[in-house]
Amino acid sequence: MSSSELEVQKAADGQQEQQVPPGVEITGSKEPEEDTNAHTKEERDFAAAEQYKNQGNEMLKTKEFSKAIDMYSKAIELHPNNAIYYANRSLAHLRQESFGFALQDGVSAVKADPAYLKGYYRRAAAHMSLGKFKQALCDFEFVAKCRPNDKDAKLKFTECNKIVKMRAFERAIAVDKPEKTLSEMYSDMENITIEDDYKGPQLEDGKVTLKFMKELMEHYKAQKRLHRKFAYKILCEIDTYMRAQPSLVDITVPDEEKFTICGDIHGQFYDLMNIFEINGLPSEKNPYLFNGDFVDRGSFSVECIFTLFGFKLLYPNHFFLSRGNHESINMNQMYGFTGEVTAKYTSAMADIFTQVFNWLPLCHCINQKILVMHGGLFSSENVTLDNIRRIERNCQPPEEGLMCELLWSDPQQWMGLGQSKRGVGIQFGPDITETFCKNNNLDYIIRSHEVKDMGYEVAHNGQCITVFSAPNYCDTMGNMGAFITITGNNLKPNYKSFEAVPHPDVKPMAYANSLMNWLA
Active centre residues (catalytic): 326
Alpha-carbon 80 to chain mean position: 31
Amino acid at 334: M
d(CA 347, CA 264): 25
Element (H, E) at 319: strand 319-321
252 dihedral zone (left: phi>0; alpha: psi -120 to 50; beta): beta
Count of other CB atoms within 10 angstroms of residue 142:
18
Q: Where are the alpha helices (DSSP H) in 315-401?
A: 329-335, 337-344, 347-358, 385-389
Return the closest-CA partner of residue 203 out of 224, 185, 181, 229: 229
Task: Kindly tell me the number of DSSP H helices and DSSP E strands found in the chain.
Answer: 20, 14
Return the closest-CA partner of residue 231 out of 293, 289, 331, 305: 305
Q: How many residues does the chain have?
A: 520
CB 312 within 8 A of CB 468: no
Instruction: Give the 3-state secondary structure of residue 464.
Output: strand
Instruction: Give the 3-state secondary structure of residue 426.
Output: strand
Amino acid at 121: Y
CB 225 within 8 A of CB 344: yes
Amino acid at 184: E
d(CA 456, CA 449): 11
Residues 480-496 as b/e (b if ≥16 CB within 10 A, e otherwise) read: bbbbbbbebeeeebeeb
Residues 13-25 as b/e (b if ≥16 CB within 10 A, e otherwise) read: ebebeebebeebe
d(CA 363, CA 235): 21
Element (H, E) at 259: strand 258-262
